C-alpha cells in the first residue's frame, strides 16, 4: 500500500511542525488502531545511525493517512 496524493503531516507536538509526505510513500494498516499510517522507516535519514526526530515521531505517534488517500 502507498500514499495516493502528497499531503502535509501537521505535528503540533514536535519541534518540526510540518512534514511533506509525497505520493508513493509506503503505508501499513495498524490492526489495533484501525488506521493507515506511513511506515516509520520511510522517514529514516540515509547514512545516519539512530532515528531522526521525524522517524521517532512516526514510530511513537504515527503519521496517519486518510482512508481515501491509500492506494493498494
Q: What one-character-per-residue DSSP string does 35-70 give?
A: EEEE-GGGG--TT-SS--HHHHHHHHT--EE-GGGE
- Counted domains in the chain: 1
Residue 4: pLDDT over 80? yes
Model pTM above 0.85: yes
Q: Range of 18's domain?
A: 2-71
pLDDT, one tens digit per residue, over 31-64 is: 999 999 999 999 998 888 888 889 999 999 999 9
pLDDT, one tens digit per residue, over 10-38 is: 987 777 789 999 999 999 999 999 999 99
Amino acid at each position: 500500500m502507498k500514499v495516493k496524493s502528497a499531503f502535509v503531516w501537521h505535528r503540533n507536538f514536535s519541534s518540526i511542525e510540518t512534514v511533506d509526505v509525497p505520493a508513493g510513500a509506503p503505508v501499513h494498516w495498524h490492526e489495533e488502531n484501525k488506521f493507515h499510517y506511513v511506515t516509520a522507516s520511510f522517514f529514516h535519514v540515509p547514512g545516519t545511525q539512530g532515528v531522526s526526530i521525524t522517524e521517532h515521531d512516526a514510530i511513537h505517534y504515527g503519521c496517519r493517512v486518510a482512508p481515501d488517500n491509500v492506494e493498494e
